[in-house]
Amino acid sequence: MSNESFNLEAYFKRINYQGKTDVTAETLKGLHIAHTLNVPFENLDVHFKKPIRLDRESLYQKIVENKRGGYCFEMNGMFSFVLKEMGFKVLDVLARGTRDGKEFFSQSHQVMVVEIGDELWLADVGFGNDGITAPVLLEEGVDQQQFTHTYRILKDPKHGYILQSKVDGEYKYMYAFHLINCHPMDFEMANYFMATYPNSFFSIMKMCTMPTKEGRVTLTDIRNEKKFKQLVNGQVTETNLNSEDEFKEKLQQYFALDYEAIKQSAAK
């Protein structure tokens, strides 16, 4: 189950996973939850101008050995490599974000569709804010509860499958995707754009976020406006941070990330 450059046991330890390793929906769910609850979604390397590498060895080194997080191409790229190594049948897909189900953005988000028996599951450990914690069954119109969040899948003749999340009793659109396997270069192109385009969401905002069983913790810095937000059982607490030191302290306290060490690593 492991080799020298890609050790599954080390990955399991990184995500605090001690469950089964057979190719079942139960295993997929356990791995997915463990990854999202223990590996932060973060884009700090983008702001330090460090190239985002998506090959298997680079992702393993960053997420497992260096105990970092990453954004969608890194988090879902790593998770896809893990699932395939374990014997899961995985479709690597590009999704389009949408706010209203009418206007759709470019294909700039990586997700996976995992086939287990006669079921298809959406896996996504790297969406960031409001992202799923557990895999979602591709069954149309069914509410799927995950801790304090609820999601459902719709189908659209033009845009394929659409993921929605339930907020204050109303469903909001998240993203859409087709069951079309993408090639590594497709992700390389989307990754390069999101990491380097000046008006990209990730170029504008420093972000670190992670779900909890009760909600989510999120740390942001948009043009030096720093905020820390906690969602606990539907209640939101937001704090303005007054200094870079406060930002660094929250990063260490809630996400176990050393800002200065990350900055120094990017400079090498």
CA distance linking residue 235 with residue 124, whole number of Å: 25
Tokens of 250: 């929250």
Q: Which of 32, 35, 47, 72 is catalytic?
A: 72
- 95, exposed or middle or buried, with CB in 10 Å at 0-12, 13-18, 19+? buried
**What residue type is 112 in one-letter code?**
M
| SS3 state at 58 | helix
CA distance linking residue 123 with residue 243, whole number of Å: 36
Q: Which of 45, 47, 92, 124 is catalytic?
A: 124
- Which residue, 153, 174, 12, is CA-closest to 101? 174
Number of neighbouring beta carbons within 10 Å of residue 35: 24
**What residue type is 84 in one-letter code?**
K
CA distance linking residue 193 with residue 104, whole number of Å: 17
The yes-or-no answer on residue 124 being catalytic is yes
Q: Terminal CA-to-CA distance of the chain, rounded, Å?
A: 33
Tokens of 88: 């899961």
CA distance linking residue 40 with residue 253, whole number of Å: 12
The CA distances from residue 209 to 91, 153, 160, 220, 223, in Å, are: 26, 24, 28, 8, 18
Q: Which of 32, 47, 109, 159 is catalytic?
A: 109
Catalytically active residues are 72, 109, 124
